[in-house]
Structure 1
Amino acid sequence: MAMLDRLTDPGHTALVTCECQHGVLGPDAVFPDLVDAAAKTGLVRNIRELSAAARRVGVPVLHCTALRRPDGLGASGNARLFAAAAKVAAARPGAALAPGSAAAGLHPGIGADASADLVLPRLHGLGPFQDTGLASVLRNLGARTLVCVGVSLNVALLELAFGAVDAGFQVVLPRDAVAGTPPEYAEAVLTHTLALVATVTDTGELLRRWTP
């Protein structure tokens, strides 16, 4: 696919992970159904492989994370999703995405590299383009195409994809490195919504293009 070769050329591509955190994808996650859906796609393994391949060919890796202070200061409260997540976190403190906590940290299975990768956290909003400086950082890195991975296709990844397109970036989505719930919804949104604004591919296709 010549178009995919051009889109994902390492010279102008960045890999962006979305909410790949221990409290989102780990055993004590806020939404267990999302963990199950991610497991079915092999999401964590695929993101680890994509991240390693990206670094080998000079593609920058950025991790966009969601945080919430224990007192909720600065957090969004204007959507049912925020209230549901706060309720679960209050009942299971181990799942709370408090700054500096194990839950807020990147999932160990994705193989983040603290010396090479960038981490951009947010305290509010539905996705990574909400006042995180993501667009500016990406432009400073020379990125024109974003390979977006992580969770979820229900909310945050939608915001990431739409925000990227609105900011002028091309978007590539490997279908086996993203997840949402229920799985049939995730497949439908990839096919009927995201395929209209992004190039949908899979991990294997990207790994073949990022093999030195």
Structure 2
Amino acid sequence: MATDAETRAEARLDALLDPAHTALVTCECQNGVLGPDAVFPELAAAARKTDLVGQIRGLSAAARRAGVPVLHCTALRRPDGRGANTNARLFAAAARVAAAKPGAALAPGSEAAGLHPGIGADPAVDLVLPRLHGLGPFQDTGLAPVLRNLGARTLVCVGVSLNVALLELAFGAVDAGFQVVLPRDAVAGTPPDYAEAVLTHTLALVATVTVAERVVRRWSGSGS
């Protein structure tokens, strides 16, 4: 039998996930990030261990059935690097990989930059917000006003990575006044034990951590 505290927590999560004011936001779920020719293979491998792509596909389908907007935030880098940051080791590492593995480069219009087919994106209804700069999808990308125009107050954030981009997304969303829900089996980072520590000791302080199946049940109308 659930305790009073557990019952209250479940009720709060149900309220947060109300389809009337929720959006699903995917982060960098692209061929060149999660596919076989990933920029950072260790990250792609970590995502495969939890079937991250399959979890996001299920969440996306449930979101559309419930009328929840689905937004895909993607990272791009022009072949000439124009508009891209150069002020962190991460950017330099990504540029080196792109030079060595052109098939993994996230050039606009390339296969690598496209959304991973396994997540089940629907171009007829989903929104895609690309960026050329920064560590994550929130700052100066237009994401916040688009979400507000859609009536969203809670963001279910999924994708990669718990090392950088998802941290920026979660912190930016909270700073902007949004509630954040993180399904732990629909996010990934590397190494996996570090990703788990970030979820437990950092992101759980600012977001509600749950599992994808719990979100799907709520959007399917069956609650807890």
TM superposition score category, shorter chain reference: over 0.9
Answer whether contact 1:122 1:130 (CA < 8 A) is retained: no
Structure 2: distance between partners of 1:67 and 1:118? 16
Tell me the amino acid that sits aligned with residue 175 of structure 1.
Answer: R
Give me the whole-angstrom Cα distance separating, in 1, the residues matched to 2:98 and 2:91: 11
| 1:55 equivalent in alignment to 2:32 | no
Query: How far 1:132 moved relative to its partner?
Result: 1.0
Kept after mapping to 2: 8 A contact 1:145/1:169:
yes
How many residues align? The count is: 212
- Tell me which residue corresponds to 2:15: 6
How far, CA to CA, are the matches of 1:13 and 1:128 in structure 2?
18
Shift of 1:203: 0.7
Where does the alignment leave 5 or more consecutive residues of structure 1 unmatched?
none
Q: Helix, strand or coil for the counterpart of 1:149? A: strand
Q: State the alpha-carbon separation in 1 of the partners of residues 139 and 94 from structure 2.
A: 18
What's the TM-score once normalised by structure 1's chain length?
0.99
Matches within 5 A, 1:1-212: 1-212=10-221
Q: CA deviation at 1:130?
A: 2.3
- Distance across 2 between alignment mates of 1:153 and 1:97: 20
Q: Deviations over 1:136-170 (max 9, x none)?
A: 00000000000000000000000000000000000
- Structure 2 counterpart of 1:91, one-letter code: A
Paired AA for residue 155 in structure 1: V
The Cα offsets for residues 23-72 of structure 1, whole Å up to 9 and x where unpaired, read as 00000000000011001111000000000000000000000000000000
What's the TM-score, normalizing by structure 2? 0.94
The code of the aligned residue for 1:55 comes to R
SS in 2 for 1:159: helix
Tell me the residue number matched to 2:5: none
Cα distance, 1:106 vs structure 2: 0.2
Distance in 1 (CA, whole Å) between partners of 2:139 and 2:77 is 14
| 1:61 partner letter | V
C-alpha distance in 2 between matches for 1:198 and 1:89: 33
The equivalent of 2:6 in structure 1 is none
**Percentage of matched positions with identical amino acids:** 84
- Any gaps of 5 or more consecutive residues in structure 2? 1-9
**1:132, 1:108 → 2: CA distance?**
24
Larger Rg: 2
CA distance in 2, matches of 1:141, 1:43: 26
Alpha-carbon distance in 2 for matches of 1:204, 1:61: 17
C-alpha separation in 1, matches of 2:25 and 2:69:
8
